[in-house]
């Protein structure tokens, strides 16, 4: 049999030690947090620009198959659904988007399509940005293909 001697029970953290750790975590969060969350808007803008590029590729595929871009009335919906029987373009071979549904922009709004374009000869694509309204600056600026 061994003698236990002056063996102490395991010691936990003191209140002071825990407060120091909480303060350190708070300081780190206050430094890193704004930088991290400031990037969220930049990421949404980049995602909207990428989606406009995907639409442009899909529209080019549509044009190669049918000989023209979708009409203003058909809009971007023609990339995922065959237009109604009276307006089905010859050669339609869609859907032209992988998910077979029109995505919303990163702020939950529909993307815009104008044919013929006011800024490009064939069509204009745009997102109204964070504000959801035409125009704007910075985070609220429109994202366009022109």
Domains recognised in the chain with CATH numbers: 40-144 (3.30.700.10)
Residue 59 clears pLDDT 90, i.e. is over it: yes
Enumerate the H helices of the chain as residue ranges.
15-66
Half-sphere exposure of 29 (CA within 13 A, CB side): 6
10-19, 43-52, 95-104, 125-134: range with lowest mean pLDDT:
10-19
Number of H helices, E strands in the chain: 1, 3
Q: Which segments of 5-135 are extended strands (E)?
A: 112-114, 124-127
Q: Is this prediction's pTM over 0.85?
A: no
pLDDT digits (tens, 9 = 90+) for 82-121: 877 556 668 888 788 888 789 999 999 999 999 998 998 9
pLDDT digits (tens, 9 = 90+) for 15-43: 788 888 888 888 888 777 777 666 777 88
Give the CA angle between residues 105, 107, 109 to the nearest 5°: 55
Closest CA to 142 of 124, 123, 121, 127: 127
Q: Phi and psi (nearest 5°) for 76? A: -70, -20
């Amino acid at each position: 049999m061994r003698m236990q001697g002056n063996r102490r029970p395991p010691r936990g953290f003191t209140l002071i030690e825990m407060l120091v750790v909480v303060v350190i975590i708070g300081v780190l969060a206050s430094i890193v947090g704004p930088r991290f969350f400031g990037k969220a808007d930049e990421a949404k803008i980049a995602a909207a620009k990428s989606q406009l590029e995907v639409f442009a590729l899909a529209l080019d595929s549509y044009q190669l198959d049918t000989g023209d871009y979708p009409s203003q009335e058909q809009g971007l919906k023609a990339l995922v659904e065959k237009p109604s029987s009276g307006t089905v373009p010859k050669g339609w071979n869609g859907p032209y988007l992988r998910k077979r549904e029109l995505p919303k922009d990163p702020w939950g709004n529909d993307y815009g399509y104008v044919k013929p374009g006011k800024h490009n000869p064939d069509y204009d694509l745009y997102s109204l940005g964070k504000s959801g309204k035409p125009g704007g600056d910075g985070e609220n600026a429109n994202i366009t293909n022109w």
